[in-house]
Amino acid sequence: MFPFSHRTPNVVGMTEIYETQPERTDLPLVVMPAVFDSMIGPLKAQLPALKDVARVRLYQDFTEDEDLIAERTAGATVMINGGPHLSDDLLRRLSGGVRGGEGGKVRCIVFSGTGVASYINLALARELGVRICNAVHYGDNAVAEHTFALLLELVRRVGELDHGIKEGGWAGPHMDGLQLAGRRLGIIGLGGIGSTVARIARAFGMDVAAWRTGHTPAERFAESGATPIDDLDELIAGSDVVSVHLPLIDGATRGLITADNLAHLKPGTLFINTARAEVIAPGALLARLEQGDIPAALDVYDHEPLPADDPLRRIPGIVLTPHVGWRTDGAFRELTRQMVACIGAYFAGDDLNVVVSEC
Q: Annotated catalytic residue: which of 93, 245, 276, 288?
A: 276
Whether 304 is catalytic: yes
pLDDT of residue 6: 38
H-helix or E-strand spanning residue 287:
helix 284-289
- 7 has a pLDDT exceeding 90: no
Where is 187: in which H helix or E strand? strand 184-188
Residue 125's pLDDT band, with cuts at 50, 70 and 90, is: very high
Task: Name the CATH superfamily housing domain 4-137+329-356.
Answer: NAD(P)-binding Rossmann-like Domain (3.40.50.720)
Query: Can you tell me the distance from the alpha carbon of 104 to that of 77, in angstroms, rounded to the nearest whole number?
Result: 6
Whether 359 has a pLDDT exceeding 80, the answer reads no
Average pLDDT of the chain?
92
Tell whether the model's pLDDT for residue 268 goes beyond 60: yes
Nearest to 193 by CA among 338, 297, 325: 325
CA pair distance 277, 281, nearest whole angstrom: 9
Instruction: Look at 2 and 132; give whichever has higher pLDDT.
Output: 132
* Interval 72-78 mean pLDDT: 95
What pLDDT is stored for residue 12 in this prediction? 42
Which phi and psi angles does 115 have, rounded to 5°? -80, 60
CA distances from 58 to 75, 92, 269, 296, 304 (A): 14, 22, 45, 38, 24
- For the ranges 21-25, 50-54, 161-165, 323-327, the lowest mean pLDDT is seen at 161-165
Mean pLDDT of 290-297: 97
- Mean per-residue pLDDT for 114-139? 94
> In this predicted structure, what is the pLDDT of residue 214?
82
Average pLDDT in the 273-284 region? 97
Of the pLDDT bands very low, low, confident and very high (cuts 50, 70, 90), residue 173 is: low
What are the phi and psi torsion angles at 71 (to 5°)?
-65, -45
Q: How confident is the model at residue 13 (pLDDT cuts 50, 70, 90)?
A: low
Does residue 161 have a pLDDT over 50?
A: yes
Phi and psi at residue 163, in whole multiples of 5°? -60, -45
How far is C-alpha 163 from the geometric centre of its chain's CA atoms? Answer: 29
pLDDT at 102: 45
Question: Residue 11 has what pLDDT?
Answer: 39
CA–CA distance, 41 with 354 (Å, rounded to integer) = 25
**DSSP letter for each residue of 208-261:** EEEE--SSS-HHHHHHHTPEEES-HHHHHHT-SEEEE-----TTTTTT-B-HHH
Q: Could you report the per-residue pLDDT of 224-243, keeping only the tens digit for each?
A: 999 999 999 999 999 999 99
State in words which class domain 140-320 has.
Answer: alpha beta
Asked if residue 79 has pLDDT above 90, the reply is yes
Please confirm, yes or no, whether 6 is among the known catalytic residues.
no
Cβ contact 128:99 at 8 Å: yes
Task: Check 156, 184, 202, 323 and give the catalytic one.
Answer: 323
The stretch 4-9 carries a mean pLDDT of: 39
Query: Which range among 42-51, 97-106, 115-124, 243-252 shows the weakest confidence by mean pLDDT?
Result: 97-106
Digit-coded pLDDT (tens) for 140-155: 999 999 999 999 999 9
Active site residue 157: no
What are the sequence ranges of the domains in the chain? 4-137+329-356, 140-320
Q: What percent of the chain has pLDDT over 90?
A: 83
Q: In this predicted model, which residue has the larger pLDDT, 104 or 187?
A: 187
Catalytic residue among 23, 64, 290, 304: 304
Give a three-class secondary structure readout of 131-174: EEECCCCCCHHHHHHHHHHHHHHHHHCHHHHHHHHHCCCCCCHH
Name which of 89-98, 318-327, 329-338 the model is least confident about: 89-98
Per-residue confidence (pLDDT) for residue 108, from 0 to 100: 97
Residue 98 — pLDDT band, cuts 50, 70, 90? Answer: low
The pLDDT, as a whole number, for residue 171 is 73
